[in-house]
């Protein structure tokens, strides 16, 4: 290991290689509760050539490499392995080009998601994927996890906006996949293989993103319900009325009270559930959709419907929703946030199943999420120092995943498999598809040096 660190220091410069315990401590965990491991060192490349150098040296020394953006991941993807080099792309954070003629933006992988949104916004364009962590997550991390966000229902997820990328392969080869063409069917779509690959197939160093014209108007509504079933029926009714809002989020009572204590936005604390709905587009269409959504909410039992009167009020409501995780995290020392996803028709029954599991194992589980996408965030509030409680948490998680799969759902809608959901992946995919994943990994990373042990062993 000493000779590897000496070679890395010689090639990158001492300032770009951290080895002291106090310096590398922050890189030993990500946003996932209970997972931590110190790496051997942390390196900060300047460009793809540096990344290539690091991968070649790692190969020579047979050292595992764990790529890292901002470390906000929620499945342990950037948690190091013993003896690993953490390859942190946070300093490769430049926006390289905004092309208004072709509606594209090219950025280094370490660029913060919010910075990408802002650069597009500054020229009247729009980058829709908006993970709750967008003020700190990197675009490389978003691509590696295929992250979703609050606008997923109408606009899709990160994959829908990546039209090109520069990627460094396990042997240090630098290649470019994709281009600015709207249509391109030359060869296999290799770009898609790297999206959502969680740092196990290559290191993304640049991304080329598709942008949209900025919607001219937005309207936000908040509707309260006395039962979760009524909220779920309202969601089905909105979709059945052929309205696809850009945001269709829900908070259960535990979450909304906690968010209100934290963000103080006057949420209806007695509601069993609230829906936060945002519609965007042409001003006339937005006004029409907002009116229809309001009617549908009332027709399905909403006890109140509040229309944000100003942009500031709309932003405050969206911020309140985005702060759900942080607000809940204040209640107990350990917060385990899951992201199981079911077909929309199964949402209400899945939420009930989570409540039953919480009662059975005497746990506090708050649930919120992207109702329009069928994506739930059952959030277990616990304490990792309490071994008995943690055992009950493990049992509850296994049951939540089982209930999800029984309903035709997936163990992860946006946070990835990483370390946290690895034991459940085969159960979801079945032997044949699982083996196919392993074949892809073997052909792109035959020596298993890129984030080994993540997704599968
Ligand atoms: C408060 C909070 C809210 C969140 N909200 C959402 C949400 O709404 N939607 C959502 O999808 N996620 C959400 N997340 C999860 C997380 O923010 C996303 O997964 C995000 O994309 C991770 O970005 P990062 O830069 O922090 O990546 P990291 O955590 O550093 O890495 C994540 C994974 O990507 C790999 N990786 C990182 N960069 C690269 C690269 N350049 N090349 C190859 N592999 C790479 C890592 O090896 C790791 O496997 C949230 C997290 C928090 C803490």
| pLDDT tens digits, one per residue of 186-208 | 999 999 999 999 999 999 999 99
| Global confidence as pTM | 0.95
Does the Cβ of 413 fall within 6 Å of ligand 1? no
DSSP conformation letters of 302-325:
-SEEEE--SHHHHHHHHHHHHTHH
Distance CA 287, CA 297 (A): 15
Distance (Å) from CA 224 to ligand 1 centroid: 31
pLDDT of amino acid 123: 97
pLDDT tens figures, 78-119: 999 999 999 999 999 999 999 999 999 999 999 999 999 999
Ligand 1 atom closest to residue 72's alpha carbon, by position in its atom list: 26
Chosen domain end from 325, 345, 379: 325
Same domain, 57 and 115: no
Chosen domain end from 185, 213, 241: 213
**439 assigned to some structural domain:** no
Distance (Å) from CA 95 to ligand 1 centroid: 19
The per-residue pLDDT of the chain, averaged, comes to 95
**441 assigned to some structural domain:** no
**452 assigned to some structural domain:** no
Q: Span 3-26, mean pLDDT?
A: 95
Total domain count, the chain: 4
Does the Cβ of 141 fall within 6 Å of ligand 1? yes
Distance CA 112, CA 75 (A): 20
For residues 429 and 411, is the Cβ–Cβ distance under 8 A? no
pLDDT of amino acid 220: 94
Q: Span 418-437, mean pLDDT?
A: 95
Count of CB atoms within 10 A of residue 214's CB? 13
Instruction: Please check the confidence at residue 316 and state whether its pLDDT lies above 90.
Output: no
- Give me the domain span that covers residue 356: 332-429
**161 assigned to some structural domain:** yes
**438 assigned to some structural domain:** no
Distance (Å) from CA 225 to ligand 1 centroid: 33
**451 assigned to some structural domain:** no
For residues 266 and 201, is the Cβ–Cβ distance under 8 A? no
pLDDT category, 264, cuts 50, 70, 90?
Answer: confident
CATH number for the domain harbouring residue 343: 3.30.70.2740
Same domain, 134 and 68: no
Distance (Å) from CA 32 to ligand 1 centroid: 11
For residue 77, give the nearest of 457, 347, 345, 453 by alpha carbon. Answer: 453
Same domain, 209 and 102: yes
For residues 301 and 230, is the Cβ–Cβ distance under 8 A? yes
Same domain, 199 and 234: no
Same domain, 118 and 65: no
Instruction: Please check the confidence at residue 322 and state whether its pLDDT lies above 80.
Output: yes
Does the Cβ of 30 fall within 6 Å of ligand 1? yes
Distance (Å) from CA 89 to ligand 1 centroid: 12
**224 assigned to some structural domain:** yes
Distance (Å) from CA 61 to ligand 1 centroid: 28
Distance (Å) from CA 388 to ligand 1 centroid: 30
pLDDT tens figures, 337-371: 999 999 988 988 999 999 999 999 999 999 999 98
Burial pattern 132-150, b for ≥16 Cβ within 10 A else e, equals bbbeebbbbbbbbbbbbbb
Does the Cβ of 410 fall within 6 Å of ligand 1? no
Instruction: Average the pLDDT over each of 134-143, 169-178, 252-261 and give the range with the smallest value.
Output: 252-261
| Nearest residue (CA) to ligand 1, atom 18 | 73
Instruction: Please check the confidence at residue 412 and state whether its pLDDT lies above 90.
Output: yes
pLDDT of amino acid 408: 96
The helix-helix angle for 347-360 and 387-406 (nearest 10°) equals 160
pLDDT of amino acid 57: 97
pLDDT of amino acid 399: 97
Same domain, 67 and 118: no
Does the Cβ of 245 fall within 6 Å of ligand 1? no
**190 assigned to some structural domain:** yes
Same domain, 372 and 341: yes
Q: Span 321-327, mean pLDDT?
A: 87
Same domain, 29 and 139: no
Distance CA 85, CA 80 (A): 8
Same domain, 79 and 105: no
For residues 89 and 32, is the Cβ–Cβ distance under 8 A? no
- For 278, phi then psi, to 5°, come to -130, 135
Same domain, 377 and 419: yes
Same domain, 319 and 348: no
Same domain, 209 and 99: yes
Does the Cβ of 89 fall within 6 Å of ligand 1? yes
| Nearest residue (CA) to ligand 1, atom 7 | 131
Distance CA 369, CA 376 (A): 5
Chosen domain end from 62, 88, 114: 88
CATH number for the domain harbouring residue 41: 3.30.43.10
> What helix, strand, coil percent values describe the chain, rounded to 5?
40, 20, 40
Distance CA 256, CA 269 (A): 7
């Amino acid at each position: 290991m000493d000779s590897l660190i000496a070679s890395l220091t010689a090639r990158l410069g001492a300032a770009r290689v951290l080895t002291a315990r106090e310096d590398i401590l922050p890189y030993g965990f990500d946003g996932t509760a209970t997972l931590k491991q110190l790496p051997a060192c942390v390196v900060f490349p300047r460009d793809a050539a540096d990344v290539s150098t690091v991968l070649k040296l790692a190969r020579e020394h047979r050292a595992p490499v764990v790529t890292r953006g901002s470390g906000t991941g929620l499945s342990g993807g950037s948690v190091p392995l013993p003896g690993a080099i953490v390859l942190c792309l946070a300093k490769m954070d430049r926006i390289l080009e905004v092309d208004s003629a072709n509606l594209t933006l090219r950025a280094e992988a370490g660029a913060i998601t919010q910075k990408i949104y802002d650069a597009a916004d500054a020229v009247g364009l729009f980058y829709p994927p908006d993970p709750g962590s967008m003020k700190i997550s990197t675009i490389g991390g978003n691509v590696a996890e295929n992250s979703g966000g609050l606008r997923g229902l109408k606009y899709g997820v990160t994959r829908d906006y990546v039209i090109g990328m520069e990627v460094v392969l396990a042997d240090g080869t630098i290649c470019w996949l994709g281009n600015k063409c709207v249509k391109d069917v030359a060869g296999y779509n290799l770009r898609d293989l790297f999206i959502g690959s969680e740092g196990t197939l290559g290191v993304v160093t640049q991304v080329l993103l598709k942008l949209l014209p900025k919607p001219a108007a937005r309207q936000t509504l908040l509707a309260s319900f006395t039962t979760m079933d009524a909220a779920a029926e309202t969601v089905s009714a909105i979709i059945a009325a052929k309205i696809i809002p850009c945001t269709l989020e829900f908070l259960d009572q535990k979450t909304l009270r906690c968010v209100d204590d934290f963000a103080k936005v006057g949420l209806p604390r007695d509601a069993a559930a609230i829906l936060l709905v945002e519609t965007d587009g042409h001003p006339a269409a937005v006004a029409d959709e907002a009116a229809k959504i309001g009617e549908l909410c009332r027709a399905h039992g909403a006890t109140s419907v509040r229309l944000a009167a100003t942009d500031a009020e709309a932003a405050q409501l969206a911020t309140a929703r985005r702060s759900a995780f942080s607000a809940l995290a204040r209640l107990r020392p350990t917060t385990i946030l899951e992201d199981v996803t079911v077909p929309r028709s199964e949402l209400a029954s899945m939420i009930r199943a989570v409540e039953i599991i919480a009662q059975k194992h005497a746990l506090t589980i708050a649930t919120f999420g992207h109702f329009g996408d069928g994506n739930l965030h059952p959030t277990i509030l616990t304490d990792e120092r309490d071994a008995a409680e943690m055992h009950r948490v493990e049992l509850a998680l296994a049951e939540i995943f089982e209930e999800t799969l029984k309903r035709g759902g997936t163990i992860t809608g946006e946070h990835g498999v990483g370390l946290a959901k690895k034991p459940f992946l085969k159960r979801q995919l079945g032997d044949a598809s699982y083996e196919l994943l392993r074949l892809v990994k073997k052909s792109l990373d035959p020596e298993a040096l890129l984030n080994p042990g993540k997704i599968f062993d």
